[in-house]
Amino acid sequence: MPNPLADALTISKSTDSCKRFAELEDGNVVTYAEFFDGARQIASLITSCGIKPGDRVAVMVEKSIAVLQTYLGSVMSGAAFLPLNPAYTDSEVRFFLQDASPSLFICDPARQDTLSTSAKSEGVRDVLTLDANGSGSLKNRIHYARRDCDPVPRSYDDLAAILYTSGTTGRPKGAMLSHGSLVSNAATLKSLWRFTKSDVLLHALPVHHTHGLFVATNVALMAGCSLLYFQKFDAEKIVRALARATVMMGVPTFYTRLLKREEISKSELSNMRLFISGSAPLRTETHREWERRTGHRILERYGMTEANMIASIPYDGPRKPGTVGIPLPGVQTRICDPETGRIVPEGEIGMLEVRGSGMFSGYWNMPDKTRREHREGGFFMTGDLARVDEDSFLAIEGRAKDLIISGGMNIYPKEVEAVIDDVPGILESAVFAAPHEDFGEGVVAAVVADSEVEVTEREIRDHIAANLAKYKHPKHIAFRKFLPRNSMGKVQKTMLRDEHGTVFASC
Residues that bind ligand AMP (CB under 6 A): 165-166, 210, 278-281, 300, 302-305, 324, 382, 384, 396, 399, 488
Minimum distance between the CB of residue 56 and ligand AMP, rounded to whole angstroms?
19
Region class of 188: left (phi > 0), else alpha (psi between -120 and 50), else beta: alpha
State which H helix or E strand residue 160 sits in.
strand 159-164
In terms of DSSP bridges, do strands 20-24 and 394-399 run parallel, antiparallel, or are they unpaired?
unpaired
Answer yes or no: are the C-beta atoms of 466 and 448 closer than 8 Å: no
Minimum distance between the CB of residue 448 and ligand AMP, rounded to whole angstroms?
19
- b (16+ CB within 10 A) / e for 354-367: bbbbbbbbbbbebe
Minimum distance between the CB of residue 280 and ligand AMP, rounded to whole angstroms?
5
Q: Closer CB to ligand AMP, residue 139 or residue 208?
A: 208
Full DSSP string of 275-323:
EEE-SSPPPHHHHHHHHHHHSPPPEEEEEETTTEEEEE--SSS---TT-
Strand partners, 250: 277
Minimum distance between the CB of residue 165 and ligand AMP, rounded to whole angstroms?
5
Please tell me the distance from the alpha carbon of residue 123 to that of residue 402, in angstroms, as a whole number. Answer: 39
Q: Which of the 8 DSSP states describes residue 491?
A: B
Please tell me the distance from the alpha carbon of residue 4 to that of residue 78, in angstroms, as a whole number. Answer: 10
Minimum distance between the CB of residue 130 and ligand AMP, rounded to whole angstroms?
24
Minimum distance between the CB of residue 354 and ligand AMP, rounded to whole angstroms?
10
Q: Closer CB to ligand AMP, residue 139 or residue 414?
A: 414
Minimum distance between the CB of residue 363 and ligand AMP, rounded to whole angstroms?
13
CA angle 300, 306, 309 (to 5 degrees): 25
Minimum distance between the CB of residue 153 and ligand AMP, rounded to whole angstroms?
30
Please tell me the distance from the alpha carbon of residue 342 to that of residue 336, in angstroms, as a whole number. Answer: 5
In terms of DSSP bridges, do strands 326-327 and 394-399 run parallel, antiparallel, or are they unpaired?
unpaired
Answer yes or no: are the C-beta atoms of 476 and 434 closer than 8 Å: yes
> What Å distances lie between residue 401 and 73, 342, 382, 404, 494, CA to CA?
38, 19, 11, 8, 11
Q: Closer CB to ligand AMP, residue 423 or residue 488?
A: 488
Minimum distance between the CB of residue 324 and ligand AMP, rounded to whole angstroms?
5
Q: Closer CB to ligand AMP, residue 65 or residue 84?
A: 84
Q: Closer CB to ligand AMP, residue 382 or residue 429?
A: 382
Please tell me the distance from the alpha carbon of residue 290 to that of residue 258, in angstroms, as a whole number. Answer: 9
How many residues are listed for the chain in this entry? 507
In terms of DSSP bridges, do strands 104-107 and 299-304 run parallel, antiparallel, or are they unpaired?
unpaired
Q: Closer CB to ligand AMP, residue 164 or residue 439?
A: 164
Q: What is the Cα 504 distance to its own chain's centre?
A: 34
Q: Closer CB to ligand AMP, residue 154 or residue 283?
A: 283
Please tell me the distance from the alpha carbon of residue 481 to that of residue 495, in angstroms, as a whole number. Answer: 15
Q: Closer CB to ligand AMP, residue 22 or residue 488?
A: 488
Q: Closer CB to ligand AMP, residue 167 or residue 407?
A: 167
Minimum distance between the CB of residue 432 and ligand AMP, rounded to whole angstroms?
15
Please tell me the distance from the alpha carbon of residue 179 to that of residue 503, in angstroms, as a whole number. Answer: 48
* Distance from the first to the final alpha carbon of the chain: 68
Q: Closer CB to ligand AMP, residue 128 or residue 488?
A: 488
Minimum distance between the CB of residue 399 and ligand AMP, rounded to whole angstroms?
5
CA angle 97, 170, 98 (to 5 degrees): 10
Answer yes or no: are the C-beta atoms of 397 and 382 closer than 8 Å: no
Q: Closer CB to ligand AMP, residue 55 or residue 300?
A: 300
Minimum distance between the CB of residue 336 and ligand AMP, rounded to whole angstroms?
15
Q: Closer CB to ligand AMP, residue 124 or residue 311?
A: 311
Minimum distance between the CB of residue 276 and ligand AMP, rounded to whole angstroms?
10
Please tell me the distance from the alpha carbon of residue 374 to that of residue 355, in angstroms, as a whole number. Answer: 9
Q: Closer CB to ligand AMP, residue 212 or residue 224?
A: 212
